[in-house]
Chain A
Amino acid sequence: EAGVVQSPRYKIIEKKQPVAFWCNPISGHNTLYWYRQNLGQGPELLIRYENEEAVDDSQLPKDRFSAERLKGVDSTLKIQPAELGDSAVYLCASSMSGPGTGELFFGEGSRLTVL
């Protein structure tokens, strides 16, 4: 069975340009997460979805970041315009919903470099 798939794997853009990341979770996983990981740090949650609904987006910088999960499956994370400080790895994860579901499955991440 395929794991969490993310694209692109790497992206280099100039500041003020837009960028988008795509995530396809594991089939049947209703919960989807986007994390950002800065160099030398642990991942930090940006947004969590339960099906199509964003149930926790308190850490998402809403002035420039947006996310969507149409039809409750694939998700995209967009940054517009990108800033130098947005250089990081953007990780997508998915899990099953409900009690006893502590295991998150992560994709390999999308590494963003803003010049």
Chain B
Amino acid sequence: DAKTTQPPSMDCAEGRAANLPCNHSTISGNEYVYWYRQIHSQGPQYIIHGLKNNETNEMASLIITEDRKSSTLILPHATLRDTAVYYCIVRPANSGYALNFGKGTSLLVTP
């Protein structure tokens, strides 16, 4: 699986957009970009995933660059409950491949 690089920590003011970057310069053509988050003392939670097109759901938006070497997860209006560790993972969309988590980005949303 391709490796990802994320900043270890970020801050965001409540109500503002949180933009979490991820570098995955060695991504393969069949690998999707997945984002999960882990709130303290809970298991990781799926947020969104995409292949090459931008994606949006009720939780977030995912922007993938045209060359697919990087992506950005956008939380449009961050709340205190969005404080968590965010993991960017690349892998084929098939149950035959487990998720390989890195250390992620610890996002702190402040009042």
B108 → A minimal CB distance (Å): 15
Per DSSP, are chain B's interface residues mostly helix, strand or loop, or mixed? loop
Interface size class of A (residues with CB under 8 A): 20 to 34
Interface residues on chain B, number (Cβ under 8 Å): 24
Q: Is B102 an interface residue (CB 8 A)?
A: yes
A102 nearest in chain B by CB position: B93
With A102-B34, A107-B43, A108-B43 known as contacts, the answer to whether A31 contacts B95 (CB < 8 A) is: yes
Mark A43-76 against chain B: 1 for CB-CB distance below 8 A, else 0.
1110010100001100000000000000000000
B33 nearest in chain A by CB position: A102
A53 → B minimal CB distance (Å): 12
Residues of A within 8 A of B99 (CB): 43, 45, 104
A-B CB proximity, top 6 nearest = A106-B43, A42-B101, A102-B93, A31-B95, A45-B98, A103-B46
10 contacts between A and B (CB under 8 A): A42-B103, A43-B44, A91-B44, A93-B43, A99-B93, A102-B93, A103-B46, A106-B43, A108-B41, A109-B43
